[in-house]
Structure 1
Protein backbone atom coordinates (compact mmCIF):
# COMPACT_ATOMS: atom_id res chain seq x y z
CA UNK A 1 0.00 0.00 0.00
CA UNK A 2 1.32 3.47 -0.87
CA UNK A 3 1.66 5.89 2.01
CA UNK A 4 -0.39 9.07 2.00
CA UNK A 5 1.92 11.99 1.15
CA UNK A 6 3.05 14.39 3.86
CA UNK A 7 1.14 17.70 3.98
CA UNK A 8 -1.59 16.49 1.57
CA UNK A 9 -4.36 19.10 1.37
CA UNK A 10 -6.44 17.93 -1.58
CA UNK A 11 -6.64 16.06 -4.87
CA UNK A 12 -8.09 17.80 -7.92
CA UNK A 13 -10.49 15.78 -10.08
CA UNK A 14 -11.26 18.00 -13.09
CA UNK A 15 -14.16 17.30 -15.39
CA UNK A 16 -15.92 18.81 -18.42
CA UNK A 17 -19.30 17.88 -16.87
CA UNK A 18 -19.48 18.48 -13.13
CA UNK A 19 -22.97 17.09 -12.59
CA UNK A 20 -22.18 13.85 -14.43
CA UNK A 21 -18.91 13.31 -12.55
CA UNK A 22 -20.52 13.96 -9.17
CA UNK A 23 -23.28 11.47 -10.04
CA UNK A 24 -20.71 8.89 -11.16
CA UNK A 25 -18.74 9.30 -7.92
CA UNK A 26 -21.94 8.84 -5.90
CA UNK A 27 -22.87 5.71 -7.89
CA UNK A 28 -19.44 4.13 -7.42
CA UNK A 29 -18.95 4.98 -3.75
CA UNK A 30 -22.41 5.39 -2.24
CA UNK A 31 -21.34 8.88 -1.07
CA UNK A 32 -22.61 12.09 -2.68
CA UNK A 33 -20.05 14.94 -2.78
CA UNK A 34 -21.20 18.18 -1.15
CA UNK A 35 -21.46 21.43 -3.13
CA UNK A 36 -18.33 23.45 -2.42
CA UNK A 37 -18.93 26.78 -4.06
CA UNK A 38 -18.47 29.01 -7.07
CA UNK A 39 -15.21 30.47 -8.37
CA UNK A 40 -16.63 33.82 -9.46
CA UNK A 41 -15.12 35.11 -12.68
CA UNK A 42 -13.23 31.88 -13.38
CA UNK A 43 -16.21 29.99 -14.77
CA UNK A 44 -15.97 27.00 -12.43
CA UNK A 45 -17.59 25.53 -9.35
CA UNK A 46 -16.78 22.48 -7.25
CA UNK A 47 -18.05 19.65 -5.08
CA UNK A 48 -16.06 18.21 -2.18
CA UNK A 49 -15.55 14.96 -0.27
CA UNK A 50 -13.37 14.60 2.81
CA UNK A 51 -10.55 12.06 2.52
CA UNK A 52 -10.15 11.91 6.29
CA UNK A 53 -8.23 14.27 8.54
CA UNK A 54 -7.49 17.58 6.86
CA UNK A 55 -7.46 16.24 3.29
CA UNK A 56 -10.21 16.25 0.68
CA UNK A 57 -11.10 15.55 -2.93
CA UNK A 58 -12.14 18.50 -5.08
CA UNK A 59 -14.29 17.75 -8.12
CA UNK A 60 -14.15 20.87 -10.30
CA UNK A 61 -15.77 21.68 -13.62
CA UNK A 62 -17.45 24.41 -15.66
CA UNK A 63 -20.20 26.35 -13.92
CA UNK A 64 -23.19 26.46 -16.32
CA UNK A 65 -24.63 29.44 -14.41
CA UNK A 66 -21.62 31.68 -15.13
CA UNK A 67 -20.85 33.40 -18.40
CA UNK A 68 -17.78 31.94 -20.11
CA UNK A 69 -14.70 33.64 -18.64
CA UNK A 70 -12.41 35.73 -20.79
CA UNK A 71 -9.52 33.37 -20.10
CA UNK A 72 -9.15 29.57 -19.89
CA UNK A 73 -10.82 27.97 -16.89
CA UNK A 74 -8.61 26.56 -14.11
CA UNK A 75 -7.02 23.13 -14.46
CA UNK A 76 -7.56 23.17 -18.23
CA UNK A 77 -11.11 21.87 -17.84
CA UNK A 78 -12.02 23.36 -21.22
CA UNK A 79 -9.75 20.85 -22.95
CA UNK A 80 -10.97 17.73 -21.12
CA UNK A 81 -13.14 15.10 -22.78
CA UNK A 82 -13.51 13.01 -19.61
CA UNK A 83 -12.98 13.42 -15.88
CA UNK A 84 -9.35 13.11 -14.82
CA UNK A 85 -7.37 13.67 -11.64
CA UNK A 86 -5.02 16.39 -12.84
CA UNK A 87 -2.96 17.45 -9.82
CA UNK A 88 -2.84 17.75 -6.04
CA UNK A 89 -2.09 20.31 -3.35
CA UNK A 90 -0.11 20.37 -0.13
CA UNK A 91 -0.54 22.76 2.79
CA UNK A 92 2.83 23.53 4.41
CA UNK A 93 2.91 25.18 7.86
CA UNK A 94 4.46 28.33 6.33
CA UNK A 95 3.67 28.93 2.65
CA UNK A 96 6.28 31.60 2.02
CA UNK A 97 9.03 29.63 3.78
CA UNK A 98 8.10 26.53 1.76
CA UNK A 99 8.35 28.48 -1.51
CA UNK A 100 11.76 29.85 -0.51
CA UNK A 101 12.96 26.39 0.53
CA UNK A 102 11.83 24.83 -2.74
CA UNK A 103 13.57 27.54 -4.78
CA UNK A 104 16.76 27.02 -2.79
CA UNK A 105 16.57 23.31 -3.64
CA UNK A 106 16.08 23.67 -7.37
CA UNK A 107 12.31 23.92 -7.88
CA UNK A 108 10.29 27.12 -8.28
CA UNK A 109 6.60 26.45 -7.52
CA UNK A 110 5.70 29.98 -8.62
CA UNK A 111 4.47 32.98 -6.65
CA UNK A 112 1.62 32.83 -4.16
CA UNK A 113 -1.66 34.19 -5.54
CA UNK A 114 -4.74 35.29 -3.60
CA UNK A 115 -7.95 33.43 -4.50
CA UNK A 116 -11.48 33.06 -3.16
CA UNK A 117 -14.81 31.33 -3.59
CA UNK A 118 -18.19 31.69 -1.96
CA UNK A 119 -19.76 28.70 -0.22
CA UNK A 120 -23.45 27.91 -0.83
CA UNK A 121 -24.26 29.45 2.57
CA UNK A 122 -22.71 32.73 1.41
CA UNK A 123 -19.48 32.43 3.40
CA UNK A 124 -16.48 33.82 1.52
CA UNK A 125 -13.38 31.63 1.66
CA UNK A 126 -10.04 33.24 0.90
CA UNK A 127 -6.71 31.52 0.46
CA UNK A 128 -3.33 31.79 -1.22
CA UNK A 129 -1.83 29.25 -3.57
CA UNK A 130 1.16 28.96 -5.86
CA UNK A 131 0.53 29.90 -9.46
CA UNK A 132 -0.33 26.87 -11.55
CA UNK A 133 1.25 28.41 -14.65
CA UNK A 134 4.66 27.74 -13.12
CA UNK A 135 3.88 24.22 -11.97
CA UNK A 136 5.49 21.09 -13.34
CA UNK A 137 3.48 20.26 -16.49
CA UNK A 138 2.75 16.69 -15.38
CA UNK A 139 0.59 17.81 -12.46
CA UNK A 140 2.44 15.27 -10.30
CA UNK A 141 4.29 17.99 -8.38
CA UNK A 142 1.74 19.59 -6.05
CA UNK A 143 0.90 23.24 -5.81
CA UNK A 144 1.01 24.83 -2.36
CA UNK A 145 -1.96 26.31 -0.53
CA UNK A 146 -2.48 28.35 2.64
CA UNK A 147 -6.04 28.77 3.91
CA UNK A 148 -5.07 31.59 6.25
CA UNK A 149 -7.94 32.49 8.59
CA UNK A 150 -10.62 30.78 6.47
CA UNK A 151 -12.29 27.64 7.77
CA UNK A 152 -10.70 24.64 6.07
CA UNK A 153 -13.12 22.77 3.79
CA UNK A 154 -12.77 19.59 5.87
CA UNK A 155 -14.07 21.44 8.95
CA UNK A 156 -17.51 21.98 7.37
CA UNK A 157 -19.03 18.53 7.89
CA UNK A 158 -18.21 17.08 4.48
CA UNK A 159 -19.23 13.52 3.56
CA UNK A 160 -16.19 11.30 4.00
CA UNK A 161 -14.49 8.56 1.97
CA UNK A 162 -11.17 7.93 3.77
CA UNK A 163 -8.11 7.81 1.54
CA UNK A 164 -6.46 4.40 1.78
CA UNK A 165 -3.61 4.89 -0.69
CA UNK A 166 -2.30 7.29 -3.30
CA UNK A 167 0.29 6.74 -6.02
CA UNK A 168 1.12 8.00 -9.48
CA UNK A 169 2.90 7.16 -12.72
CA UNK A 170 5.50 9.23 -14.56
CA UNK A 171 7.56 8.56 -17.67
CA UNK A 172 10.67 9.41 -15.62
CA UNK A 173 9.99 9.11 -11.86
CA UNK A 174 13.57 10.10 -11.04
CA UNK A 175 12.96 13.50 -12.63
CA UNK A 176 9.96 14.15 -10.36
CA UNK A 177 11.23 12.81 -7.01
CA UNK A 178 13.74 15.64 -6.30
CA UNK A 179 11.01 18.21 -6.93
CA UNK A 180 8.73 16.52 -4.40
CA UNK A 181 11.60 16.43 -1.90
CA UNK A 182 12.18 20.16 -2.42
CA UNK A 183 8.57 20.72 -1.33
CA UNK A 184 8.89 18.50 1.73
CA UNK A 185 6.55 15.78 0.51
CA UNK A 186 6.62 12.48 -1.38
CA UNK A 187 4.46 10.44 -3.72
CA UNK A 188 4.79 6.78 -4.61
CA UNK A 189 5.83 6.75 -8.29
CA UNK A 190 6.10 4.02 -10.90
CA UNK A 191 7.12 4.27 -14.54
CA UNK A 192 4.33 4.81 -17.06
CA UNK A 193 2.06 7.39 -18.67
CA UNK A 194 1.32 10.32 -16.37
CA UNK A 195 -1.59 9.61 -14.06
CA UNK A 196 -2.78 9.18 -10.49
CA UNK A 197 -4.23 6.14 -8.75
CA UNK A 198 -5.94 6.27 -5.37
CA UNK A 199 -8.21 4.03 -3.34
CA UNK A 200 -11.02 5.27 -1.12
CA UNK A 201 -12.79 3.45 1.69
CA UNK A 202 -16.51 3.71 0.93
CA UNK A 203 -19.82 2.22 2.11
CA UNK A 204 -19.63 0.01 -1.01
CA UNK A 205 -16.11 -1.19 -0.16
CA UNK A 206 -12.72 0.06 -1.40
CA UNK A 207 -13.00 1.91 -4.72
CA UNK A 208 -9.97 2.79 -6.85
CA UNK A 209 -9.84 5.79 -9.16
CA UNK A 210 -7.32 6.09 -11.97
Structure 2
Protein backbone atom coordinates (compact mmCIF):
# COMPACT_ATOMS: atom_id res chain seq x y z
CA UNK A 1 0.00 0.00 0.00
CA UNK A 2 0.92 3.64 -0.45
CA UNK A 3 0.13 6.36 2.09
CA UNK A 4 0.52 10.08 1.57
CA UNK A 5 3.65 11.10 3.48
CA UNK A 6 4.44 14.70 2.59
CA UNK A 7 4.20 17.41 -0.05
CA UNK A 8 7.02 19.38 -1.65
CA UNK A 9 7.13 22.93 -2.94
CA UNK A 10 10.16 23.56 -5.16
CA UNK A 11 11.90 26.91 -5.32
CA UNK A 12 14.98 28.35 -6.94
CA UNK A 13 16.13 29.45 -3.46
CA UNK A 14 14.91 28.63 0.04
CA UNK A 15 14.35 32.31 0.76
CA UNK A 16 11.99 32.59 -2.20
CA UNK A 17 10.23 29.41 -1.16
CA UNK A 18 9.85 30.55 2.43
CA UNK A 19 8.40 33.90 1.42
CA UNK A 20 5.95 32.32 -1.00
CA UNK A 21 4.64 29.57 1.28
CA UNK A 22 4.50 31.68 4.43
CA UNK A 23 2.58 34.35 2.53
CA UNK A 24 0.20 31.78 1.10
CA UNK A 25 -0.53 29.96 4.36
CA UNK A 26 0.02 32.67 6.96
CA UNK A 27 2.16 30.39 9.15
CA UNK A 28 5.91 30.12 9.74
CA UNK A 29 8.10 27.38 8.32
CA UNK A 30 10.59 25.53 10.51
CA UNK A 31 14.22 24.62 9.88
CA UNK A 32 14.95 21.49 7.90
CA UNK A 33 18.39 20.44 6.75
CA UNK A 34 20.57 19.29 3.87
CA UNK A 35 20.40 16.31 1.54
CA UNK A 36 24.05 15.75 0.65
CA UNK A 37 23.36 12.98 -1.86
CA UNK A 38 21.34 15.29 -4.12
CA UNK A 39 22.75 18.70 -3.17
CA UNK A 40 19.51 20.16 -1.84
CA UNK A 41 18.20 21.65 1.39
CA UNK A 42 14.76 22.32 2.82
CA UNK A 43 12.40 24.00 5.25
CA UNK A 44 9.48 22.18 6.86
CA UNK A 45 5.92 22.67 8.08
CA UNK A 46 4.16 20.21 10.36
CA UNK A 47 0.60 19.37 9.39
CA UNK A 48 -2.17 17.32 10.93
CA UNK A 49 -2.67 13.58 10.41
CA UNK A 50 1.08 12.91 10.36
CA UNK A 51 1.75 14.90 7.19
CA UNK A 52 4.25 17.63 6.58
CA UNK A 53 5.13 20.06 3.82
CA UNK A 54 8.65 20.85 2.69
CA UNK A 55 10.10 23.68 0.67
CA UNK A 56 13.08 22.33 -1.25
CA UNK A 57 15.76 24.02 -3.35
CA UNK A 58 19.23 23.38 -4.70
CA UNK A 59 21.79 24.06 -1.97
CA UNK A 60 24.14 26.75 -3.34
CA UNK A 61 26.89 25.45 -1.06
CA UNK A 62 26.70 21.89 -2.38
CA UNK A 63 29.36 20.40 -4.60
CA UNK A 64 28.61 19.77 -8.28
CA UNK A 65 26.99 16.38 -8.85
CA UNK A 66 27.89 13.84 -11.56
CA UNK A 67 24.23 12.79 -11.84
CA UNK A 68 20.82 14.52 -11.97
CA UNK A 69 19.20 15.78 -8.78
CA UNK A 70 15.96 14.28 -7.55
CA UNK A 71 12.60 15.95 -8.13
CA UNK A 72 13.89 17.23 -11.49
CA UNK A 73 15.35 20.22 -9.65
CA UNK A 74 18.18 20.71 -12.14
CA UNK A 75 15.60 21.99 -14.63
CA UNK A 76 13.39 23.88 -12.18
CA UNK A 77 12.92 27.59 -12.73
CA UNK A 78 10.32 30.24 -12.09
CA UNK A 79 8.16 30.95 -9.09
CA UNK A 80 7.97 28.54 -6.12
CA UNK A 81 5.21 26.00 -6.71
CA UNK A 82 4.09 22.45 -5.90
CA UNK A 83 6.55 20.06 -7.46
CA UNK A 84 6.11 16.59 -6.07
CA UNK A 85 4.09 14.46 -3.72
CA UNK A 86 5.69 11.72 -1.69
CA UNK A 87 4.03 8.47 -0.60
CA UNK A 88 5.44 6.06 1.96
CA UNK A 89 5.36 2.31 1.84
CA UNK A 90 6.61 -0.64 3.85
CA UNK A 91 7.52 -2.45 0.62
CA UNK A 92 9.58 -0.16 -1.58
CA UNK A 93 11.11 -3.07 -3.47
CA UNK A 94 7.64 -4.39 -4.30
CA UNK A 95 6.46 -1.00 -5.53
CA UNK A 96 9.55 -0.62 -7.72
CA UNK A 97 9.06 -4.12 -9.10
CA UNK A 98 5.51 -3.19 -10.15
CA UNK A 99 6.49 0.32 -11.30
CA UNK A 100 10.13 0.28 -12.47
CA UNK A 101 9.57 3.66 -14.10
CA UNK A 102 9.37 5.12 -10.56
CA UNK A 103 13.14 4.69 -10.23
CA UNK A 104 15.61 2.62 -8.26
CA UNK A 105 15.88 2.62 -4.44
CA UNK A 106 18.50 5.05 -3.14
CA UNK A 107 19.66 5.08 0.50
CA UNK A 108 19.47 8.58 2.00
CA UNK A 109 19.93 10.33 5.32
CA UNK A 110 19.54 13.73 6.96
CA UNK A 111 20.83 13.97 10.49
CA UNK A 112 19.58 10.88 12.28
CA UNK A 113 16.79 10.27 9.75
CA UNK A 114 17.28 7.32 7.43
CA UNK A 115 15.19 6.31 4.45
CA UNK A 116 15.18 4.79 0.98
CA UNK A 117 13.49 6.48 -1.95
CA UNK A 118 12.82 5.44 -5.53
CA UNK A 119 14.65 7.94 -7.74
CA UNK A 120 14.78 7.72 -11.56
CA UNK A 121 18.25 8.04 -13.09
CA UNK A 122 17.05 11.11 -14.97
CA UNK A 123 15.60 12.68 -11.83
CA UNK A 124 12.27 12.96 -13.67
CA UNK A 125 9.32 11.00 -12.32
CA UNK A 126 6.72 9.49 -14.68
CA UNK A 127 3.82 11.56 -16.00
CA UNK A 128 5.89 14.77 -16.02
CA UNK A 129 6.68 14.40 -12.30
CA UNK A 130 3.02 13.79 -11.46
CA UNK A 131 3.71 10.22 -10.32
CA UNK A 132 4.51 10.18 -6.58
CA UNK A 133 8.01 9.75 -5.26
CA UNK A 134 7.94 6.61 -3.13
CA UNK A 135 9.73 6.48 0.21
CA UNK A 136 10.36 3.85 2.85
CA UNK A 137 11.47 5.18 6.22
CA UNK A 138 14.03 3.17 8.15
CA UNK A 139 13.22 2.84 11.83
CA UNK A 140 10.59 4.82 13.70
CA UNK A 141 11.99 8.36 13.25
CA UNK A 142 9.84 10.60 11.05
CA UNK A 143 10.07 14.37 10.46
CA UNK A 144 6.38 15.04 11.15
CA UNK A 145 6.70 13.84 14.74
CA UNK A 146 9.39 16.45 15.40
CA UNK A 147 7.63 19.48 13.99
CA UNK A 148 5.60 21.95 16.03
CA UNK A 149 1.87 21.97 15.21
CA UNK A 150 0.94 24.63 12.68
CA UNK A 151 -2.82 24.28 12.69
CA UNK A 152 -2.68 23.31 9.02
CA UNK A 153 -4.33 20.27 7.47
CA UNK A 154 -4.47 19.06 3.89
CA UNK A 155 -7.95 19.24 2.41
CA UNK A 156 -7.11 18.20 -1.15
CA UNK A 157 -4.10 17.45 -3.31
CA UNK A 158 -5.26 18.08 -6.87
CA UNK A 159 -3.09 16.58 -9.61
CA UNK A 160 -3.86 17.62 -13.17
CA UNK A 161 -2.34 15.92 -16.20
CA UNK A 162 -3.38 15.13 -19.77
CA UNK A 163 -3.21 11.44 -18.83
CA UNK A 164 -4.82 11.83 -15.40
CA UNK A 165 -7.04 8.78 -15.84
CA UNK A 166 -4.06 6.54 -16.67
CA UNK A 167 -2.10 7.91 -13.73
CA UNK A 168 -4.99 7.29 -11.36
CA UNK A 169 -5.42 3.77 -12.72
CA UNK A 170 -1.70 3.02 -12.26
CA UNK A 171 -1.98 3.87 -8.56
CA UNK A 172 -5.46 2.50 -7.87
CA UNK A 173 -4.31 -0.85 -6.51
CA UNK A 174 -2.05 0.73 -3.89
CA UNK A 175 -3.36 4.19 -3.02
CA UNK A 176 -6.66 4.93 -1.27
CA UNK A 177 -6.91 8.54 -0.14
CA UNK A 178 -9.95 10.72 -0.81
CA UNK A 179 -7.79 13.83 -0.44
CA UNK A 180 -5.85 12.94 -3.60
CA UNK A 181 -7.80 14.04 -6.69
CA UNK A 182 -6.86 13.52 -10.34
CA UNK A 183 -8.16 15.85 -13.04
CA UNK A 184 -7.49 16.11 -16.77
CA UNK A 185 -5.55 19.19 -17.85
CA UNK A 186 -2.07 20.59 -18.21
CA UNK A 187 0.47 19.04 -15.84
CA UNK A 188 0.26 20.87 -12.51
CA UNK A 189 -0.49 20.41 -8.82
CA UNK A 190 -2.54 22.31 -6.29
CA UNK A 191 -2.40 22.00 -2.51
CA UNK A 192 -5.64 23.03 -0.78
CA UNK A 193 -4.82 23.50 2.90
CA UNK A 194 -6.99 24.40 5.87
CA UNK A 195 -5.08 26.89 8.04
CA UNK A 196 -5.82 28.95 11.15
CA UNK A 197 -6.77 31.69 8.68
CA UNK A 198 -9.14 29.55 6.62
CA UNK A 199 -8.66 27.62 3.39
CA UNK A 200 -5.51 28.60 1.53
CA UNK A 201 -4.18 27.32 -1.79
CA UNK A 202 -0.66 26.75 -3.08
CA UNK A 203 -0.46 26.28 -6.85
The two structures, once aligned, show a CA RMSD in angstroms of 2.2
Q: 1:16·1:78 contact (CA, 8 Å) conserved in 2?
A: no
Q: Which position in structure 2 is the counterpart of 1:121?
A: none
Question: What residue in structure 2 maps to residue 209 of structure 1?
Answer: 202
Which of 123, 128, 147 is matched with 1:157 structurally?
A: 147
**Whole-Å Cα distance in 2 between the matches of residues 183 and 58 of structure 1?**
24
CA distance in 1, matches of 2:83, 2:21: 16
- 2:183 counterpart residue number: 190
* Residue 93 (1) aligns with residue 84 (2): no
Distance 1:65 1:155, change over 3 A: same
Q: Distance in 2 between matches of 1:135 and 1:74?
A: 9
The corresponding residue for 2:26 is 30
The Cα offsets for residues 160-188 of structure 1, whole Å up to 9 and x where unpaired, read as 32111111111122221221124434641
Distance 2:202 2:23 in 1: 13
- Render the CA deviation track for 1:121-178: whole Å, top value 9, x for unaligned: xxx2210011234731422211211111151000102343211111111112222122
- 1:168 & 1:143 partners in 2: Cα distance? 14
Aligned twin of 1:3: none
Q: TM-score, normalised by structure 1?
A: 0.82
1:200 maps to what in 2?
193
1:83 is aligned to 2:71: no
Contact kept, 8 Å, 1:126 with 1:150, in 2: the verdict is no
Of stretches 154-163 and 132-141 in structure 1, the one that deviates more from structure 2 is 132-141
Check the 8 A contact 2:89/2:134 in 1, yes or no: yes
Are the counterparts in 2 of residues 15 and 21 from structure 1 also a CA contact under 8 Å?
yes
Which residue is 1:115 aligned to?
108
For structure 2, the residue ranges without an aligned partner over 5 or more in a row are none
- Hey, what does 1:46 align to over in structure 2? 42
Q: Distance in 2 between matches of 1:135 and 1:58?
A: 18
Structure 1 residues not aligned, in runs of 5+: 1-5, 119-123
Quickly say closer, same or farther: Cα 1:77–1:110, change in 2 above 3 A. Answer: closer
Change in Cα spacing, 1:173 to 1:139, as seen in structure 2 (3 Å) is same
Whether the 8 Å CA contact 1:23–1:32 is kept in 2: the answer is no
